[in-house]
Amino acid sequence: MTKDLFLFKSVTSETLDDLWVLNLGSNRLMIPYRLGFEILNDALSACKQAMNYEAVASKHWRELAALTTWREETPGTHRGFRLSGRLPNVLECNVAYENQLVRLEFIPREGSEILFAKIHFSDMFKIYRAGRIACRTAKAWAGDASRIWGGSANLRTAEENDKLRVE
């Protein structure tokens, strides 16, 4: 088990054919682009919760959220679906927040140990942006023209709001 606190400068994000490659220090994680989109969506939600923990002004969050609509040029989608044949070494990832940190738990293929990483929410947001670009590039390489929709919600205070009749 590895438990480390990573800074943005020790993390890189790149594409290897149809895989998103996330380098966390000396660990090279090869993640399928569909799983990458799921991880990044959960990480964005955890970033927002971590920002709330630090009582960051909602104006700051709106400014960051506006940046996510910015699109970098990605290559055109390949005609016809293709796979590289490379095996990813991450099967699943659990994302949560701990205070102002985003905690990632990467569950690897058999024979490897689980990797725990903790990243400050501001650095995780930068990784989110770089990861989205890499996943879009990998998706285009694979020739996948489908749309992937995702969402998340924080239901922690749902019962309290219901009792108070807050809508």
Beta bridge partners of 31: 20
Predicted structure pTM score: 0.75
Q: Which residue has the tokens 């709001």?
A: 161
What is the separation of C-alpha 55 from the centre of its chain, rounded to a whole number of angstroms? 22
Q: Is residue 123's pLDDT more than 50? A: yes
Express each pLDDT in 149-165 by its tens digit.
666 566 665 555 555 55
CB 127, CB 12: distance < 8 Å: no
Question: Phi, psi at residue 17, to the nearest 5°?
Answer: 55, -110
Q: Where are the domains of the chain?
A: 2-148
Beta bridge partners of 101: 98, 120
Question: Mean pLDDT, the chain, as a whole number?
Answer: 77
Express each pLDDT in 93-120 by its tens digit.
999 988 889 999 998 887 778 888 888 8
